[in-house]
Each structure stands twice: as C-alpha cells, then as structure tokens.
Amino acid sequence: MRSHATTKGLERATHRALYYSMGMLPEELDKPLVAIVNPQNETMPGHIHLDIIAKAVREGVLAAGGTPIEFGTIGLCDGIAQGNYGMHYPLASRELICDSIECMVNGHSYDAMVLVTECDKITPGMLMAAARLNIPAIVVSGGPMSTGWCFGREVGYTDLMEAQGLVQRGEMTWDQLAEFEQGALPGCGACNLMGTANTMNFLTEALGMCLPGSTAMAVSGRRVALAKRTGMQIMELYRRGIRPRDVLTDHAFWNAFVVDMAIGGSTNTLLHLPAIANEAGITMDMAMITEIASRTPNLTRIKPSGDHFPADLDHAGGIAALMKQLMDAGLLRDHLTTTAATVSTNVQDAQVHDSNVIRPMDRPYTATGGLALLYGNLAPDGAACKAAGVVPEMLQHRGPARVFEQEEDAVKAIYGGEIQKGDVVVIRYEGPRGGPGMREMLAPTAAIIGMGLGDSVALITDGRFSGATRGAAIGHVSPEAAAGGPLGLVREGDIISIDIAAGRLTLEVNDTELARRRESWSRPPSKALPGSYLERYARLVTSAMTGAVFSRE
C-alpha cells in the first residue's frame, strides 16, 4: 500500500503518533487509507450539502473495509462571480483544485480517493487530478437542483436571468422579479438547467468515472445511497487495481463527446474534456468533435435550449437510458468503467420512460449534435457554439460588428438600446490570457434575449459562455485577441458572416487591410493585479482550443 510509506516501520513512529492524536486506532492504519475530497462550502447551492454526501461516502468506505480521511478544496460559484471582476477566477481555479488534490494525496501517500464534487470547475479539476495521480479513484456529485415554481409554472435559473430584460423593458415589475428570485432556485444542488455543472457531472457518467445515476436529485435518498455505494465501490477498485487511466481511454472521451452532443451540453465541455485528456496523456484532435457532431443526433433539450429541466431527464431514465439508445445505434464505444464492468453492461437494462424528454433516434430535435465548431479567417484555430440553443433563423447571420473591449461595456450598450437588430456584438480581450481567466458572457447573452433581440443579434467573443446561455453566441474564438488573433483587428461596422451549419465564421475584410491593421496593433495592458495568481495564470495558460491548460514548456 502507498500509505505504508507513512504508517509502517521503526522510523514512522511519529507519523503513527500524529494519526493516533486524532483518535485513529492502530488497526485503522493497517487498512487502505482512502482520501475523501470534499469541497463543501457555504458559497453556493451546489456545495452547501456536500457534507451529507461525504458522510455517506465515509460510511461506504468503512463498510467495505477502508479507512476514510477527509480533506477539502476550494470551490467558486460561477453564478455569484458572474458579470463582475470575480468571473476572472472560476476557470483559473480549475488548475488550483487539481494541484491542491495532488499536493494532499501525494503529500500524505493515500491509497485511493473518492472525489465529491458538484459545480462548474470543481468537477473537471477533480477529474484532471484523478487522471494525473492515477491511483484508484471514483467521483460522486451532489446531484441536480429540483425544479423551481413561480407564477403557477415551473421555472429555473435561465428564466430568472432573462427576466432581468423583461424588467428593463417594463414587462415585469421589480416586485414580480423579487418573487421570481425566491422561487426559481428552490434548494441545494447544481442549478436547474443544462449548465456546465450538470453537463460535466452527466459526462462523468459517460466517461465511466462515476457510478450510473448522475441525474438523481440532490435532495433525494437515491443521491445519498449513490454516495454510500460509491464509498463501497472505491474499495473494489482498490482491490482490483483499477485506476483512472484504465477508464479514461480514447473510447471514454469519444463517448463523452457523443453524450455531450446528444444532450446539447455546455460549450465549456470543449475546455474541460481536452484538459482532462491532457492529464491522462491523451492528445485530443478537435476534428473528432466535428465528426461526432455530424453523426450524433440531439435527443434532449433541457433549459436553456428547451422546456425541460434536469429533474425531467432523471424521470425519463437518466443518462444510462440515453446511453442505451446511443449504444444500440452503434454510436458509443465499449470500455471499462468504475463499476468494474463495461459501458454495455452498465446500460443493458436501462429504459427510456418519457420519449418526449429523451427522444428516440428516429425523432431527434436535430440530426446533428448540440455543439458546433466554427472556423474561418476570424477564428483560424476554431470557435465554439451551442447550436442546440440557436433559433433556426440565426443559424446563418450577416451583420455589422459592434465592438467592445470588455463585457461590462457591451451589457451597458445592450440594455441602453444601442444594439440594433442585425448587429453582431463583438466582445474581445476576454480569453484565457486576455481576460485573464476567460470570463463567461452570460450577462450580455441574457441581455440580448431579455431585450427581445435573440432572433436578430449574434455575439462573438474570445471569452466563453455559461451553460445557461442560449442564442447565436459564439465563443472560444482562437487565437484570442490578446494573443494576436484576428478578433483584435475587428473594427466597428466591419461585416461578419456566420454559418453555424457549415461551421464558418468570416470577417469580410480583405487580407491586405488586415495586414495593415496588424502593423498598428498592440497588446493592451493586463487587467490582472501585479503579483496576483491571475498574472501568473495569464503567463502559463494556453489557447481555449487546447483546453486552456497550463503550458508544459
């Protein structure tokens, strides 16, 4: 056992004494030491209840013959950081989460680990740590938030975001908004939409890194039971010697992107899955994503792309039922999972209970996937779009650029009535390096929808989008403006054409003019505080199209 490096031998007397001083018994040190990584905190609904999940995991580890040892990590709420300076930090925190787990697990020589998680950057950070450390590991999330209720109907996070525009337009009162705020988010769990938190937790099941049941509600007994079973399962993985890189193979990432397309997940997966693959020693060709999108139908549309909520997906049979359909259609690949069985075995008995929520293969929303990559002279290395959230009339668009150097200025202009039908809002210097931290542009996209411009205005940025985003929103433009990308050369009034179906993003300015503009271009000063983590992050981070990971050079 790895832990024997700290618990066995004459020279380890002080090590054992440290454990005994915390009330541990000698016989507990003879068992595998299992780290329970628990980022419970009071900053967000997704993590407020994780002590309950971690307690159930602990009970499972004990029941299966291990010794659980719990420690924490940081966890930022994208919702609270949204639309202000705080949004520079969530993506950057992903690397800190991964590094902190490495420090704790290797520093104390634990034998295995259970990663308790929930929200946007915490889940990918933990999966990155699992792949990097490659000791027996399994993930369990806190589960989706229940559906809200207000004004006699089901509501959620997305509806509340767009209500702000209704207030601005005089179609909703401040008192009604206050009532909405009280009802849209009814309790703990990952926010009730197909945002990054739920998307990444569902894709953890597609990767095979958690037990089936990722859609079980946060407030359910099923969720607690799943956590307990997870604690028991880590001991089985330990005994069998099954490690993350045995699970996180090429097939696993293929399956994750297939499920991503079928559920119309958050575009942030295009940052996180390549980053996890990087830690697993797998080089991901982004052309694979276009191939998968071309052959995978979009079978579910959860808010903000459709009218259903995560609870509806759970009632319909969950991710296992969806994967059963995809497996039967020959779209998924079979591989080992943390159940110690293969994907085909895991899903063989799963059934779809509501074909309106999980549509059959012959009646999809669209024949192609919910995410799209775009290329062109404005995005030579690519850009990303949640195609499932785009109304048909905006799948092709051509209009004049309205250029903003940061998110706040764009939001002010949208709510101020300065953006007209047909415009293309360009927000730049918000990429991984330029932000720094690649802020989400949920505020401007929600403003566009709220101001009634969702079917006539597009938004292009080297920043990224929340899973709550819908509309013709194109992000991750690479190379980013701060790295000298063409987005930094766009001028007010330039015509930009978008063809999402064809995967094209074109700045209608000739090469000679672009070369002339490049001669006078200079990188703007960093927005990071001198000596801060963000300043160091900006020096190390790579392109969005490589997962915004740290350079190893």
**Pairing mode of beta strands 396-404, 379-385:** unpaired
Burial of 417 (0-12, 13-18, 19+ CB in 10 A): exposed
CA–CA separation, 438 vs 410, rounded Å? 16
Phi, psi (deg, nearest 5) at residue 421:
-55, 135
Spatial CB neighbours of 131, under 8 Å, sequence gap ≥ 6: 244, 245, 248, 276, 277, 279, 280, 281
The owner of tokens 């012959």 is: 362
Phi, psi (deg, nearest 5) at residue 71:
-145, 170
Amino acid at 399: G
CA–CA separation, 298 vs 275, rounded Å? 24
What three-state secondary structure class fits 70? strand
Alpha carbons within 13 A on the beta-carbon side of 218: 30
Burial of 214 (0-12, 13-18, 19+ CB in 10 A): buried
Strands (E), 407-480: 424-427, 458-461, 473-478
Element (H, E) at 506: strand 504-507
The span from the first CA to the last CA of the chain, in angstroms, equals 33
Tell me, yes or no, if 466 is annotated catalytic: yes
Catalytic residue among 93, 214, 466, 526: 466
In 182-207, which positions are buried (b, 16+ CB within 10 angstroms) versus exposed (e)?
Answer: ebbbbebbbbbbbbbbbbbbbbbbbb
Question: Residue 523: beta bridge partners?
Answer: none
The runs of H, that is alpha helices, within 248-300 are 250-263, 269-279, 287-295
Spatial contact of 36 and 232, defined as CB atoms under 8 Å apart: no
Strands (E), 24-141: 33-37, 67-71, 112-117, 137-141
CA–CA separation, 198 vs 304, rounded Å? 12
Alpha carbons within 13 A on the beta-carbon side of 452: 8
Could you list the active site residues?
A: 466
